[in-house]
Amino acid sequence: MLELRRLEQPDADVVLGAMLNGVRQLGLVALPWSAAAKELRARMQFARKHDLRAEKAWPAVDDASLLAQLESWLGPC
């Protein structure tokens, strides 16, 4: 039988895993991006696109790249 109850101290690893799985399933649209964050991503994508160096100095911040490295940037530092 299912039961609804509040967990006072949920396991942080379980919560993080659930959050990461939810973002993977729903996509980055599930995150509450502020206007400033969206603008920063757009500027970073522009800088990366126009960076002529072989080793790109700007990280890839497109949806596919961010989803592929979700654990490295979304979660506790």
**pLDDT digit string (tens) for the chain, length 77 residues:** 899 999 899 999 999 999 999 999 999 999 999 999 999 999 999 999 999 888 888 999 999 999 999 999 998 87
* Cα dist from 72 to 30, 46, 67, whole Å: 18, 22, 10
The whole-model pTM stands at 0.80
The helix or strand, by DSSP H or E, that contains position 38, with its residue range, turns out to be: helix 35-49
Q: Confirm if 31 and 23 have CB atoms less than 8 A apart.
A: yes
Domain range annotation of the chain: 32-72
